[in-house]
């Protein structure tokens, strides 16, 4: 059974049956069968339910957000924003896909030559729990609009949300089996990837999971997009607006209880402004309020699972035992729910686990550096390469520096975020391929060259 537990009080509230092998086979057969009809329907016919999906998300915003709060523990305000973002993506795809997937003439010596975009077939999405609506939508909506069919194996702790997403797709007018939720154990994923009917795989998850899925997909020559973890630097130069950088940094680290791949995790601050930054940052952290994520007064939600909290606590304790300074938090509060006190550490060194691993929870790492060169070197001293934020009063200089950072996303004087209009993804251990934007919408299509002599 797959169990839904409320992270706020630790209570089970739903159980979901795990699919049998026969049910999985039926889903694969259905995805292949409906693909032929769906891909031939024409782009405008496929975009109509995408537009309706945006409308339904707006109409059901409150109930969908409440479900995310109950099953994943997300603050209600953040859950509403996530649903809104899914609707924004639907509208972006409906408006921009005709131009993005239009035939592109290319002048050659041929009578006519052009690039044509067409769907691949059934796709498998392996999705995480931390943005349980958004991460499914940003994979599935462009994929089905292009004419593919999708099967989504969601994280077990958000199974109710995955079934709700399937209902939304059906009620928006997508034919049965264009989108299918797969309540299956992780052991079934390899067989599904290997199945000849699956033509591509998208994973959002850990680097370890990405390596496993990439190996399986590669063995069967399947297209693969991986959006993995991050250890994003937040670089504050001496000429930055320090107060603004500190205030935004609290949000960038502690929103979604710190459970975000693009959250700011390593705060790299020049020594001239370190004390000012620290004062403002600790004030912001001290003002965070742990509590019921459905309560508007709450600003720090619980973690999604107890094992995630235990893993974070172990990382923080390792750093403390190795000499890091604990400036705030570092403890599990008494009482129910998977809460962890908002934590700030400095005095860190590369041997500590928090310096080497992704820290996925409400804990911030602060580093004092002597100059700009040291800041850039430390920012790049990680196996990850997802996002980076750089703060400076000299925008031209900051932009030049931001373009040198080893990351897929570089933001100046702003926190890193995803946007339907811009490609999203990382390099190094943070992944392969892109979602969103023109580049993302062209990942799961066959880019065909057509030459007419």
Residues designated as active site: 227, 261
Query: Can you list the pairs that 74-80 forms with residues at least 24 positions away whose Cβ atoms lie under 8 Å?
Result: 74/256, 74/293, 74/301, 75/256, 75/293, 75/298, 75/299, 75/301, 76/293, 76/294, 76/295, 76/296, 77/296, 78/255, 78/256, 78/301
Non-local CB neighbours of 217 within 8 Å, separated by 6+ positions: 193, 201, 223, 224
Q: Would you say 349 and 355 are in contact if contact means Cβ atoms under 8 Å apart? A: yes
Three-state secondary structure readout of the chain: CEEEEECCCCEEEEEECCCCHHHHHHHHHHHHHHHHHHHCCCHHHHHHHHHHHHHHHHHCHHHHHHHHHHHHCCCHHHHHHHHHHHHHHHHHHHHHHHHHCCCEECCCCCCEEEEEEEECCEEEEECCCCCCCHHHHHHHHHHHHCCCEEEEECCHHHHHHHHHHHHHHHHCCCCCCCEEECCCCHHHHHHHHHCCCCCEEEEECCHHHHHHHHHHHHHCCCEEEEECCCCEEEEECCCCCHHHHHHHHHHHHHHHHHCCCCCEEEEEEEHHHHHHHHHHHHHHHHCCCECCCCCCCCCECCCCCHHHHHHHHHHHHHHHHCCCEEEECCCCCCCCCCCCCCEEEECCCCCCHHHHCCCCCCEEEEEEECCHHHHHHHHCCCCCCCEEEEECCCHHHHHHHHCCCCCCEEEECCCCCCCCCCCECCCHHHEECCECHHHHHCCCEEEEEEEEC
- With contact defined as beta carbons under 8 Å apart, do 270 and 236 qualify? yes
**What Å distances lie between residue 151 and 87, 127, 147, 208, 445, CA to CA?**
20, 11, 13, 22, 16
């Amino acid at each position: 059974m797959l169990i839904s537990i409320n992270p706020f009080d630790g209570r089970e509230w739903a159980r979901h049956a795990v699919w049998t092998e026969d049910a999985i086979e039926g889903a694969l057969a259905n995805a292949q069968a409906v693909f032929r009809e769906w891909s031939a329907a024409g782009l405008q016919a496929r975009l109509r339910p995408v537009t309706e999906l945006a409308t339904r998300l707006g109409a059901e915003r409150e109930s969908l957000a409440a479900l995310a709060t109950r099953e994943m523990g997300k603050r209600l305000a953040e859950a509403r924003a996530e649903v809104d973002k899914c609707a924004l993506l639907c509208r972006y795809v409906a408006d921009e896909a005709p131009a993005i997937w239009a035939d592109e003439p290319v002048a050659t010596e041929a009578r006519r030559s052009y690039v044509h975009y067409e769907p691949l077939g059934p796709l498998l999405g392996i999705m995480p729990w931390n943005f349980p609506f958004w991460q499914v939508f940003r994979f599935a909506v462009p994929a089905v609009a292009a004419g593919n069919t999708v099967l989504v194996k969601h994280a077990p702790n958000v199974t109710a949300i995955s079934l709700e997403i399937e209902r939304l797709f059906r009620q928006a007018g997508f034919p049965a089996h264009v989108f299918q939720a797969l309540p299956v154990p992780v052991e079934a994923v390899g067989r599904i990837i290997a199945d000849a009917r699956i033509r591509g795989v998208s994973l959002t998850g850990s680097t370890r999971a990405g390596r496993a899925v990439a190996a399986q997909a590669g063995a069967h020559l399947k297209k693969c997009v991986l959006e993995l973890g991050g250890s994003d630097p937040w670089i504050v130069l001496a000429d930055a607006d320090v107060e603004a950088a500190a205030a935004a940094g609290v949000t960038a680290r502690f929103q979604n209880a710190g459970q975000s791949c693009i959250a700011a995790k390593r705060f790299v601050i020049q020594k001239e402004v370190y004390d000012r930054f620290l004062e403002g940052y600790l004030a912001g952290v001290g003002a965070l309020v742990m509590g019921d994520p459905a309560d508007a007064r709450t600003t720090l939600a619980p973690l999604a699972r107890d094992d995630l909290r235990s893993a974070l606590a172990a990382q923080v304790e390792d750093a403390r035992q190795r000499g890091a300074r604990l400036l705030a938090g570092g403890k599990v509060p008494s009482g129910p729910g998977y809460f962890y006190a908002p934590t700030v550490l400095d005095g860190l060194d590369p041997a500590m686990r928090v310096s080497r691993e992704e820290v996925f929870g409400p804990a911030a790492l602060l580093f004092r550096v002597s100059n700009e060169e040291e800041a850039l070197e430390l920012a790049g001293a990680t196996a990850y390469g997802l996002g980076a934020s750089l703060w400076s009063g000299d925008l031209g200089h900051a932009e030049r520096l931001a373009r040198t950072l080893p990351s897929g996303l570089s933001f100046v004087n702003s926190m890193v975020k995803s946007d339907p209009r811009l490609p999203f993804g990382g390099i190094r251990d943070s992944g392969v391929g892109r979602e969103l934007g023109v580049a993302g919408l062209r990942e799961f299509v066959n880019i065909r060259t057509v030459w007419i002599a």
